[in-house]
Structure 1
Amino acid sequence: MNPGVTPDAVSVITTKRDGGALDDAQIDWAIRAFTDGEMAPEQMSALAMAVLLRGMDRREIARWTAAMVATGARLDFSDLRRDGRLLRTVDKHSTGGVGDKITLPLTPLVASYGVAVPQLSGRGLGLTGGTLDKLESIPGWRADLTVEAMTAQLRDVGAVICAAGSGLAPADKKLYALRDVTGTVEAIPLLASSIMSKKIAEGTGALVLDVKVGSGAFLADPDDARQLARTMVALGTDAGVDTVALVTDMSTPLGRSAGNAVEVAESLEVLAGGGPPDVVELTLALAREMLAAVGIDDDPADHLSGGQAMDTWRAMITAQGGDPDAPLPSAEHTDVITASADGIVTALDARAVGLAAWRLGAGRARPGDAVQSEAGVVWHVRPGDRVRRGQPIMTMHTRTPERFDAARVALDAAVTVGDAPPAARDLVRERITV
């Protein structure tokens, strides 16, 4: 585009439609104009589709992300101190998956090392449950904090999990709603900038990304997951945030539960030094990356077995109005799924389990829908386990038993039973840096 010429929607759209690279002025104008209502939704829809089909280079994505950040506030924890000592900040973001409760034990575990972990999280939509939905099953716990309350809790406790304020990258909320109804959610440049604009605006000094791949993840194709991970690591690095990504398997759901209160209960087992091996493995893998990012070389398993992580959890929950000793909600109605044949479990499909949990009431179809704290699925077998016909393999939980039939349909093909054990599958598939 010629210097000094004011961009307009049609020229921006046609530049990208024809495979050209958008210059900084075009990107800045498009994000500001759409956020302010000057650029019509149908015009941004056309631009988003052009990006999906034509892509963006690293400079374009970095500028797009920076323009998104510039539409709102940016938090600053660079001078956060406790007892006169500067606190280093590190955060983690997951692209989401079935049974992915890792944020719950991970945040207090890392914070127990004297690190500040500002974990801004969201509510679930569709099959992947939201971290805030899980925590809201704890009596009294509140997700909404002011910046002042968040900062004070980081200083005093070191760990906070709360809702992201509407002032952080407001362009993202408006653009995501548009992408959601125009078939452009999968555009890697827009997906990466959506995630990273909020994380950069959050003000953390270092970031560890958990990019899921498999049937229970947003991205099922390994190449797409790898591209997303590389794009986000580049965005973080270009914005001055020390960023690394792990690509992790989500073909089998994490742990042994998917839902809200059932996942909190499982997280408490991990914090107490137990819990499912895969949840422990991924929690520790991410914790090691987060601690390394702030210069701490230690084995985080010590703070699970030693109780320091649990102490920080209790302080974090209490600081946000929750009662860490209160019993979690339990479902009034349960129904059991049994094995249809003798043999060895060769697969447990994450997407089928997530769909069943959603149908039982653990998730929402539209923003603002209510969720059931008690709803979810607990599975009693994993790939490699031997089962007998009629053996209980899953239990469904809900307060509305009329949901059981639809959930059972989803679970009919969730467990595959065969004669030979499945091939071993690495939970952490790849580590990606700049």
Structure 2
Amino acid sequence: GTLDKMDAIPGYVSQPDVALFRKAVLETGCAIIGQTADLAPADRRLYAIRDISGTVESVPLITASILSKKLAAGLQSLVLDVKVGNGAFMEKSRDATALANSLVEIANGAGLKASALITGMNEPLASAAGNAVEVRNAVDFLTGRYRDRRLEDVTLALAAEMLQSAGLVSSNQDGMRRATETLASGRAAATFARMVAALGGPADFIEKPEKYLPAATIELAVKATANGFVTGIATRDIGLAVVGLGGGRTRPDGQIDPAVGITRLLPVGAEVGIGEPLALIHARSSADAEAAAATVLSAYMVGASKPPADKSVIRRILPRG
């Protein structure tokens, strides 16, 4: 998950003690961290029961699991990003909407101001999948070197929603304007750089990410076998290809390789010709690269007609009444 990506940054402490957490927030205003086992400890036991009782997909139990940690942390406001599509836990729109409504209603009923955005996952959110490669993608996004359109749409929408939820702007439109200005001015990149340093990472990480992020030794282009347009992507298979490379876990105590992954993933709607790259594999061995390339190639659908663009942000969920 997110912590695995942040752990690709040398020295970064993704699960700090309370003192370091407070210090980072006081100095920078933010901290990307994970909770310890002391926060809502019963949740782990309940998840284990769900896993063996066929109730992993139960909306009430998912709601309880997610909100138990948020309520225990004492938040003043909460914005949730609920994914829907072939790469999400909830593949159908009605299921994602039911979950988002459940989360928002229960949170607000418990005194926590909450809203949600339902965002699409019928293709990867960005052109990179992995750990170090996604961190580099995020750095490039913040600094303006390169920005994936869908990632920008979702990020700005969530930022605007958070600003409004926290009472820092009066409307969603004002939030979008402020978020856009903060990104364009470089203030977002500067804040991220200070946060990384405050949590133990290199002080010059944002300027020199290639100096610190691990890189795999083998690169292999996944080449298209037909002319046309990318009409669809089996997004979950892209994730499975990363797991096969060693970039994800097959069991909770498994180790991951932060260097491996996939970059230059073409989005749905992109035009491609025979022999042109659909993606670039980063692997530790040629065998791993070949296996991942085969999975990625089969995940891409190419057709003669350019498909209509899907919305990145599908729906905004607010409390009823």
Q: TM-score, normalised by structure 1?
A: 0.68
Distance in structure 2 (CA, Å) of the matches to 1:333 and 1:312: 33
1:132 paired residue number: 3
2:223 paired residue number: 338
Distance in structure 2 (CA, Å) of the matches to 1:343 and 1:269: 29
1:376 paired residue number: 261
**1:216 and 2:216 correspond:** no
2:316 paired residue number: 431
Distance in structure 2 (CA, Å) of the matches to 1:241 and 1:162: 21
1:20 paired residue number: none
Distance in structure 2 (CA, Å) of the matches to 1:384 and 1:239: 43
Per-residue CA distance 1:217-273 (angstroms, 9 max, x = gap): 011011111110001001210121110001110011111011001100110111113
1:144 paired residue number: 15
1:348 paired residue number: 233
The one-letter code of the counterpart of 2:185 is G
1:277 paired residue number: 149
1:356-371 matches, within 5 Å, as 356-371=241-256
How far 1:407 sits from its partner (Å)? 2.1
Equivalent pair of 1:345/1:382 in contact (CA under 8 Å)? yes
Distance in structure 2 (CA, Å) of the matches to 1:194 and 1:401: 41
1:393 paired residue number: 278
Equivalent pair of 2:221/2:278 in contact (CA under 8 Å)? yes
Moved more, 152-161 or 242-251: 152-161
How far 1:209 sits from its partner (Å)? 0.4
Find 2:168's aligned residue among 276, 296, 309. Answer: 296
RMSD: 1.4
Q: TM-score, normalised by structure 2?
A: 0.91
Q: Secondary structure at the match of 2:63?
A: helix
Distance in structure 2 (CA, Å) of the matches to 1:406 and 1:179: 33
1:227 paired residue number: 98
Find 1:315's aligned residue among 194, 197, 208. Answer: 194
Find 1:173's aligned residue among 23, 34, 44. Answer: 44
Distance in structure 2 (CA, Å) of the matches to 1:233 and 1:402: 46
Aligned length: 305
Runs of 4+ displaced beyond 6 Å? none
Q: Secondary structure at the match of 2:53?
A: coil
**1:420 and 2:299 correspond:** no
1:222-261 matches, within 5 Å, as 222-261=93-132
Cα 1:330–1:188, aligned 2, differ >3 Å: closer, same or farther?
A: same
1:63-142 matches, within 5 Å, as 130-142=1-13
Larger Rg: 1
1:56 paired residue number: none
1:6-45 matches, within 5 Å, as none
Distance in structure 2 (CA, Å) of the matches to 1:211 and 1:400: 36
How far 1:380 sits from its partner (Å)? 4.1
Distance in structure 1 (CA, Å) of the matches to 2:62 and 2:84: 15
Distance in structure 1 (CA, Å) of the matches to 2:273 and 2:14: 44
1:90 paired residue number: none
Distance in structure 2 (CA, Å) of the matches to 1:420 and 1:296: 44
Per-residue CA distance 1:16-41 (angstroms, 9 max, x = gap): xxxxxxxxxxxxxxxxxxxxxxxxxx
Find 2:30's aligned residue among 152, 156, 159. Answer: 159
Per-residue CA distance 1:336-369 (angstroms, 9 max, x = gap): 2100011111112211211111111110011121
The one-letter code of the counterpart of 2:220 is D
1:85 paired residue number: none
Equivalent pair of 1:372/1:398 in contact (CA under 8 Å)? no
The one-letter code of the counterpart of 2:121 is M
Unaligned 5+ segments in structure 2 are: none
How far 1:183 sits from its partner (Å)? 2.3
